[in-house]
Amino acid sequence: MTTRVRAVLLDLDGTLLDHKGAAQAAFLTACVQWLPDLDEQERQEAHAEWQRLEAIHMRAYLNKAVTFQEQRRTRLRGVLSAYGQDAMAVSDAKADELFTIYSRHYEKAWTAYDDVPEAMDFLGTAPAGVAVLSNGDRLQQEAKLASIGLTLKLPLFTPSDVG
């Protein structure tokens, strides 16, 4: 018995786009502004804390306990607090402003993995349907697809689409 593949679902972050590399570069750059007294080693340690907080707060977002914006603010306050800043004194507006520093650097660092163009060419000739399934925010994921040239090539499904 032969099974025919009818659809291929690809994750965006970590499969098509180098999220880890972009996030690390963005954090290390933003951290210089957020926590200017840290040396390089301390910034690396702060990045590990940032990743830990991201896992916790993205899970809360995916469980619909907080909004996408709220998880960003909480994550930022968490890393500031871990390095001695009074996170409670950081208003939502200030947290958004500080997170924008990270976001700008993150967006600048978005790149597709080297093998993505070849894989897309191959999948484009396959009889199976191909789409992106992501747990991220729809607007951000659309921007990522556009930045790596895949907007018109692949449909996107996010939590806001499928619940």
The residue from 69, 84, 108 where one domain ends is 108
| Count of the separate structural domains present in the chain | 2
Mean pLDDT of 105-133: 90
Could you tell me if 43 and 104 lie in one domain?
Answer: yes
Could you tell me if 95 and 127 lie in one domain?
Answer: no
Could you tell me if 124 and 79 lie in one domain?
Answer: no
**The predicted structure's pLDDT at residue 161:** 78
Could you tell me if 124 and 87 lie in one domain?
Answer: no
Could you tell me if 41 and 11 lie in one domain?
Answer: no
CB 128 within 8 A of CB 150: no
Domain of 138? 7-16+111-162
Residue 162 reports pLDDT greater than 80: no
Mean pLDDT of 130-156: 88
**The predicted structure's pLDDT at residue 159:** 82
Q: What is the pLDDT of residues 52-101, one digit of tens each?
A: 999 999 999 989 899 989 999 999 999 999 999 999 999 999 999 999 99
Name which of 75, 60, 69 is nearest 93 in CA terms.
69
Could you tell me if 27 and 92 lie in one domain?
Answer: yes
Q: What is the pLDDT of residues 6-38, one digit of tens each?
A: 888 999 999 999 999 999 999 999 999 999 999
Confidence of residue 129 (pLDDT cuts 50, 70, 90): confident
Could you tell me if 89 and 132 lie in one domain?
Answer: no
pTM of the model: 0.85
**The predicted structure's pLDDT at residue 90:** 95
